[in-house]
A = this chain, B = another copy of it.
Amino acid sequence: MNNIPVGILGASGYAGRELCALVAAHPQLTLAFATADRRRGETVRVPAPLGVAGRPTDVTFVATDDAPLGDAALVFSALPHGASAEWSRRAHEAGAKVVDLSSDLRPGHLTSELLATLGARRSALALTSAGVSAERRAPTDEESSIPYGLTELNREAVRAAEVVANPGCYPTAILVALAPLARAGLLATGATVVADAASGVTGAGNSPREDLLFGEVTGSFRAYGAGNVHRHLPEMRATLGALGADVDLIFTPHLLPVARGILATCTVPVTAAPADALAVWRDAYAGEPFVEVVDALPSLADVQHRNVVRLTVLPVKGVRTPTLQVFAAIDNLMKGAAGQAVQNANLMLGLDETAGLPR
């Protein structure tokens, strides 16, 4: 199956442009439209994504209002939070499947009103019960409504879904890091999990902001959104809860003088230290094409322009409570946004999950 038409809403932001590049170079997808209200009428040359063979393509933006939603088999929405849900609804109504990259449809954000208008029931998180290595089976009605598209945790529900909520960038790194512990029952009730994470600047989008100018960011480093109040917490809490963990997550994001990439350093007290900690993750992600469980501490350079989570685990020495540290790196625009969106779209369209994605 080739030349499947897909559309992109909000194509001029960083995630939107990466989606354009991935779709243009995808062996089986073709770009039906790309919208960008402020830049409508403009034609931009989109290079092939690094890590994928392909040639540059010219993309001409149309206004979102003018997008021929019905022409697309699947629509990606990279519109801003708040505006995205309504356009996902319209695209779905027009007959397209939808991957929504905003937070609008994610656990903890989706309102019952919105669910009603979307005409869909939805579980907070539609996880396959037997975990990531579960046999493939048909998802339940509930699961197939609007699953949380962290693909590795929720593959079968994504495959069957009409609409998928693509995860946030930080949650992708942190949940892939923590899920095996949750599944293995190694997280004590009430334990405090500290996830300090740092992101490149593209995570904040390309709308002009003084605090994101080169002169403000270069040579510096700071936390932001501190106090455990970041927009990404609800989806992380919901997912950990769905995985059976009853922990207190403390998540603190930081801004790096780097264009792209996220590193999450997760400090996790465990009920018992596994003899071979890394084996827990190796087993959990055996066969996963986009998870790299490695011996060395991952760096951003290891994952930039690649649709992977790269992680390692170390036992913490010199403490009374058995504790592990999980270090997970992703490219925030790839596995943290556009790449994972294509990964989900591949499943939803019956394609090979890895098609058109750089590893």
Place the interface of chain A in its size category.
35 or more
Inter-chain CA distance A48–B300, complex, in Å, is: 16
Residue of B nearest to A53 (CB): B53
Inter-chain CA distance A29–B111, complex, in Å, is: 55
Inter-chain CA distance A301–B17, complex, in Å, is: 15
Contact B319 A192 (CB under 8 A): yes
Set of chain B residues within 8 Å of A134, measured between Cβ atoms: none
For residue A288, give the distance in angstroms from its CB to the closest CB of chain B. 14
Set of chain B residues within 8 Å of A206, measured between Cβ atoms: 210, 213, 215-216
Which of A's residues lie within 8 Å of B, judged by CB?
Answer: 14, 47-48, 50-53, 55-56, 190, 192, 194, 196, 198, 200-202, 206-210, 212-224, 226-229, 233, 248, 250, 252, 254, 256-261, 263, 265, 267, 269, 297-301, 304-306, 314-321, 323, 325, 327, 329, 358-359
Given A190-B320, A220-B299, A221-B261, 10 more pairs with CB closer than 8 A: A51-B51, A51-B53, A192-B267, A214-B216, A214-B218, A220-B261, A222-B297, A222-B300, A252-B267, A256-B256
**Could you show 11 A-B contacts with beta carbons less than 8 Å apart?**
A51-B53, A53-B358, A55-B359, A190-B321, A216-B301, A219-B259, A219-B300, A221-B263, A223-B265, A227-B316, A254-B265
